[in-house]
């Protein structure tokens, strides 16, 4: 009856080798990635709202009347979740990943615009002349 214990030990060793070969110890680290995207939106009023979730930072630049231009510089590693939507003067951004997340947005805003920040949107240290930041 020595066959059963030997078979059991052999199965445990083979299973452990399979786990080690396919387990968390054998995974490659996530590859860092980045991109740059630009979008433009029509602004019909003089107020603009930014709502964000995740590690998102903003810089504002004075630009053309009636137009918002949004340039994002994103970097991440691993799976990425990103959303960006525009609705009548309101920009909403959602951004997250497993590690190494960062999104820097440069937003060109018409002079005379009042900009408000909501959620995790980091307000710029300084607002350009002619733009009010709340």
Q: Enter the pTM of the model.
A: 0.76
15-41 pLDDT, tens digit each:
455 444 555 566 788 889 999 999 999
Lowest-pLDDT choice from 49-53, 83-87, 94-98, 114-118: 94-98
Q: How high is the pLDDT of residue 18?
A: 46
Contacts of 50 (CB under 8 A, 6+ apart): 58, 90, 91, 93, 107, 115, 116, 117, 118, 121
Q: Is 6 helix (H, G, I), strand (E, B) or coil?
A: helix
Query: Is residue 118 scored above 70 in pLDDT?
Result: yes
Query: Average model confidence (pLDDT) for the chain?
Result: 84
């Amino acid at each position: 009856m020595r066959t059963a214990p030997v078979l059991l030990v052999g199965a445990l060793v083979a299973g452990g080798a399979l786990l080690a070969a396919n387990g968390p110890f054998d995974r490659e680290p996530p590859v860092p990635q980045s991109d740059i995207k630009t979008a433009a939106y029509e602004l019909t009023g003089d107020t603009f709202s930014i709502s964000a979730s995740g590690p998102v930072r903003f810089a504002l630049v004075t630009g053309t009347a009636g137009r918002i231009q949004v340039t994002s510089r994103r970097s991440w590693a691993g799976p990425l979740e990103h959303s960006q939507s525009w609705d009548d003067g309101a920009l909403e951004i959602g951004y997250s990943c497993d590690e190494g997340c960062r999104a820097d947005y440069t937003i060109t805003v018409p002079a005379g615009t009042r900009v408000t920040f909501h959620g995790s949107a980091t307000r710029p240290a300084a607002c350009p002349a002619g733009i009010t930041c709340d």
